[in-house]
A and B are shown apart, each in its own frame.
Chain A
């Protein structure tokens, strides 16, 4: 029952995020338009840009994520264990078998993406496959399949791509402001409202920050949930607990992960263990791994 309410809440949140994204981007363009004294054109451009990027990210977020992380389709003979574990656990959870990808990187990690169980992708790094035995791998894959079943993948992939888009837009505007905005016609300058300019600058700078906070709020609780439902699937919480231990003990950092895809992974691809202040815990995409292991051990 809780799985179905989880699905409904994820879909609702996805719609909300899309809505906020469209309003945000369109409003943003509108403000820029005000600054350049052509609000209507910028408003329309902003609306089109946000619409296109939401539709695009709905259908292509999985491909974009796979592209940015450098994942390659897994060959069944070469990655026999990964393949059969994914197949078996999909059967056990009644999901269609997802596409299976591998990232060639020594840092052990895994993620799932896609828009629904029929268009889902499960991806593991070669480091993960080398380090874990079959039971531990089952724990990790069960965790990922729970994300698929819950529609966490839809929400987190879309957030990843939309956050990436916001970052891209603000970056682009920042640059065009820097190079183009300042040395415009001098006589126009007096007509611009300085207050608006300050407001605009603040918004511009806070955009990536806000986007990042959304991303964090979305991802942390669901890791606990996926741990629990994954353990229910394998009936063996120790498998995932040991896998998490191995993953957190590993010193490697996943090179291809970016801030807009970090929350997709089973454990944060950036290791920031030695700086455990409230700022890091506020900004970390994942709950502390010791906590997750402790909960799994007590199951």
Chain B
């Protein structure tokens, strides 16, 4: 009799292990999927930059620093591998683009150009999409992290090396001032 109860308990524990392990695997896969969703938007954002720079150059040739900053931030974004790196590079690019758009304000012909307006609209849309895909990623990370930390699933997580995953940090650039220099302008 006792042996059956013991056996039943062992089977239950094994089943719990299997379900928890599989649950963690599913959650982790969802995080990866969500991350690739962010990557799609970041790539789209990066791919719009060269066109934008060319368009603005056509009207404001002298703002070399700004173009350089934007191009640098773009390649940093494309080179970024880890989540914090990507978040950081994306924030850099946001800052650099802000200066670019601030400068563009001073060129009415540029503002009136259909191409510029179109690119600006597309960039704005892509930035929204980066934010939304980040929201999805972070909500998945939250689900996963709470399972990794909660009792008793934390035992299984520890045993099989499931560790906490970092959130994709929101931009802090909004708080900083935008530096614009019109030094080359006459």
A residues neighboring B (CB under 8 Å) = 84, 87-89, 91-94
B141–chain A nearest beta-carbon distance, Å: 13
What are 24 of the A-B contact pairs (CB < 8 Å)? A84-B125, A84-B128, A87-B129, A88-B128, A88-B129, A88-B132, A89-B132, A91-B37, A91-B41, A91-B129, A91-B132, A91-B133, A91-B136, A92-B132, A92-B133, A92-B135, A92-B136, A93-B136, A94-B30, A94-B33, A94-B34, A94-B37, A94-B136, A94-B140
Chain B residue contacts of A87, Cβ below 8 A: 129
Chain B residue contacts of A88, Cβ below 8 A: 128-129, 132
Q: How far is the CA of A84 from the CA of B128 in the complex (A)?
A: 9
B residues neighboring A (CB under 8 Å) = 30, 33-34, 37, 41, 125, 128-129, 132-133, 135-136, 140
Chain B residue contacts of A93, Cβ below 8 A: 136
Q: Specify the chain B residue showing the minimal Cβ separation from A93.
A: B136
Q: How far is the CA of A91 from the CA of B136 in the complex (A)?
A: 7
Q: How far is the CA of A88 from the CA of B41 in the complex (A)?
A: 11
Besides the known contacts A91-B37, A92-B136, A94-B136, 4 further A-B residue pairs in the complex with CB atoms under 8 A apart? A87-B129, A89-B132, A91-B132, A92-B133
B174–chain A nearest beta-carbon distance, Å: 17
- Number of A-B residue pairs, CB cutoff 8 Å, is 24
Q: How far is the CA of A92 from the CA of B140 in the complex (A)?
A: 11
Chain B residue contacts of A89, Cβ below 8 A: 132
Q: Specify the chain B residue showing the minimal Cβ separation from A89.
A: B132
Q: Which of A84, A89, A93, A94 has the most CB of B within 10 A?
A: A94
Q: Specify the chain A residue showing the minimal Cβ separation from B34.
A: A94
The 4 closest A-B pairs by CB, nearest first: A92-B132, A91-B132, A88-B132, A92-B135
Q: How far is the CA of A87 from the CA of B133 in the complex (A)?
A: 11
Chain A residue contacts of B132, Cβ below 8 A: 88-89, 91-92
A84–chain B nearest beta-carbon distance, Å: 6
Chain A residue contacts of B30, Cβ below 8 A: 94
A173–chain B nearest beta-carbon distance, Å: 50
Chain B residue contacts of A91, Cβ below 8 A: 37, 41, 129, 132-133, 136
Q: How far is the CA of A94 from the CA of B134 in the complex (A)?
A: 11
Chain A residue contacts of B129, Cβ below 8 A: 87-88, 91
Q: Specify the chain A residue showing the minimal Cβ separation from B30.
A: A94
B100–chain A nearest beta-carbon distance, Å: 22
Q: How far is the CA of A89 from the CA of B128 in the complex (A)?
A: 10
Chain A residue contacts of B125, Cβ below 8 A: 84
Chain A residue contacts of B136, Cβ below 8 A: 91-94
